[in-house]
Amino acid sequence: MKILLTSATIIDASSSHHLTTQDILIENGQILKIGNLADLPADKIMSGLYVSQGWFDSSVSFGEPGYEERETLENGLRTSALSGFTTVAVNPNTNPVADSHADIAFIKAQSKEHGVTLLPIGALTTGSQGEALAELYDMQKAGAIAFGDYKKSISNANLVKIALQYAQNFDGLVLSFPNDSKIAGKGIVNEHISSTKLGLKGIPALAEVLHVARELTILEYTGGKLHIPTISTSESIALISNAKAKGLDVSCSVAISNLFFDDEMLDGFDSHYKLMPPLRNKEQVAALRAAVLDGTIDMVTSDHNPLNIELKQVEFDHAAYGSIGLESAFGALNSLFGTEKTIEILTAGKKRFGCEVHPIEEGNQANLTLFLPEESYTFSEKDIHSTSLNSIFLGHTLKGKAQGIIAKNQLIIQ
């Protein structure tokens, strides 16, 4: 297939064509020419789009196998593509939990022919029960790119120590969700003025901070590679910054929702705003945004977590945690940080998770995201491609929309 992008604005700081408007000719999945090519014939011609390297999301959930009513792998990959993501790391919160070679192989097989590259995260412990280490090496051989129990912290510190030591044998990346369950107790929202006012049990920042401090202390002892997903406090930022200064191999992410919203959104008891980690106060949100800008936070994730209506449209206390986020990711980040920084953010996690990087240059593989950054709009159900509709961004103003991707010699567009 021959694709011609005319008058395309290139946003790619690693490319010699960064911030220029060019024509781009793509044939059989490769960038053949960049320049003034408007008169060349092509199977598909598109004009006036913005183009960047393909975006990456380090934390998405699709449900299949076991929770297909929330999201199938097929529709999840389609949603990823239409949201601008060429590569996604999928969490093991399935039924059964993805904790074996066969589970990882099944997930990989489902995406083999799709334009979006799916990278499975294997469970760190058997059944994500936090009791025994899963078969990490077997999963790595099947294609797992990291190991972690989604939204579940491990209370047994020795298990984390063993995981970090063992994974070094094959350069494995260990994920540890930062929440001390004993400190969090029965809390469901951020412990702050808003939780007291609303009469909801609070989760103190201490629950996250203690866990981050413990994992970093273990990492300093064992060595290895650690990723701490979806932090939400300034204290965690400081701890991770100090650990990096010591030379520890640690990275972290933040969920887009925790950058965009604060706990004042809880006033209406709308379960769309019930997340884990919980929405924090304005000061914490400001600290998170600053840490994204200065690079202390390595990557940002949509933390896409589809949930069927029965799990969300119930009393706030009983509602499940989570929001979809792929479709709103670009518009939310672009509203906060502007286009150049947003593209940097959306491609920042690739190397950490072992993804190939393809600058927009002649001769390179075409792994591209197509988008328009200027349009402001109110995010609504018509913008959702997911099977589930549990989006925290419904009714909020965003700026910019993904149009699709070109990847693995496929064009998938809105």
CA–centroid distance for 336 within its chain: 17
8 A C-beta contact, residue 181 and residue 155: yes
Report the C-alpha gap between 76 and 64 in whole angstroms.
Answer: 9
Q: Is 171 a catalytic residue?
A: no
The Cα 352–Cα 157 span in angstroms is 24
Q: Work out the end-to-end distance of the chain between its first and last CA atoms, rounded to an integer number of angstroms.
A: 18
Is residue 60 within 8 Å of 326, Cβ to Cβ? yes
Question: How many angstroms separate the CA atoms of 52 and 370, rounded?
Answer: 7
Peptide bond into 306 cis (omega under 30): no
Alpha helices in 246-314 (DSSP H): 256-260, 282-294, 309-312
108 membership: H or E segment, kind and range: helix 101-110
> How far are the Cα atoms of 10, 331, 335, 371, 377 from residue 374, in angstroms, in the given order?
15, 9, 10, 10, 10
Supply 370's token pair.
């197509």
Question: Residue 130, class by beta-carbon neighbours within 10 Å (0-12 exposed, 13-18 middle, 19+ buried)?
Answer: middle
Q: How many Cα atoms occupy the beta-carbon half-sphere of 336 within 13 Å?
A: 22
Q: Which residues on adjacent β-strands are paired with residue 253?
A: 299
Closest to 387 in 3D by CA, of 68, 108, 60, 56? 68
Helix (H, G, I), strand (E, B) or coil at 290: helix
* DSSP structural state of residue 249: -
Element (H, E) at 333: helix 326-337
- Of how many residues is the chain composed? 414
Q: Which residues lie below 8 Å from residue 256, measured CB to CB, with a gap of 6+?
A: 300, 301, 302, 303, 325, 328, 329, 332, 333
CB 203 within 8 A of CB 191: yes
Catalytic residue among 267, 303, 317, 383: 303
Question: Mind telling me the catalytic residues?
Answer: 303
